[in-house]
Amino acid sequence: MPNRRLIHLELPEAPPPQSAYAEADRRQAVADILKENRFDPADLGEGPFSLVLTLREGRLAFDIRDAEGRQPLRAIILALGPFRRLIKDYIMVVESHELAVVSGDGEARIQAIDMGRRGLHNEGAELLISRLEGRVGLDHETARRLFTLICALHQRI
């Protein structure tokens, strides 16, 4: 199913992120998603798809559109409550990682922080997969990258 994927991903215009590191993380997540992903919305035909990912009134909105991004196909709204602890922890770990790199902390400390970040990424990905179950099929890597973008959106508000 090569067309069950995203070919365009849009995030809302927002104030600049807290740091250049966070912005680079966001850009890399978008680039990685567009390079390789599995995005399989139930009952929406072959694809490929465009996605506008936003936060609206404390909820996460997946605005799924046709390949050109013109025709809305489905909107999926998820409560952010189940994600809040993970988002908060992820942002804190990313900030700790950035500080450790800038201050020249030892490689062992940086690796330990990065392991914690990966663990939160995995937990966020699994939560996203379960919250979208029956509505959108995702592979683990796509879910990890989308979780990064959810955190970036949350950090910008």
Contacts of 138 (CB under 8 A, 6+ apart): 38, 39, 40, 128, 129, 132, 146
Residue 157 has pLDDT above 60, yes or no: no
Q: Which of the pair, 101 or 51, is modelled with greater confidence?
A: 51
Q: Cβ neighbours of residue 60 under 8 Å, at least 6 residues apart?
A: 53, 54, 77, 78, 79, 80, 83, 150, 153
Question: What is the three-class DSSP state of 121?
Answer: helix
- What is the side-by-side strand order in the sheet with 59-65? 6-10, 49-56, 59-65, 72-79
Per-residue pLDDT tens for 54-109? Answer: 988 889 999 999 999 889 999 999 999 999 999 999 888 888 878 887 777 778 87
The domain limits of the chain are: 6-156
pLDDT of 1 over the 60 cut: no
Global confidence as pTM: 0.88
Average pLDDT over residues 124-141: 96
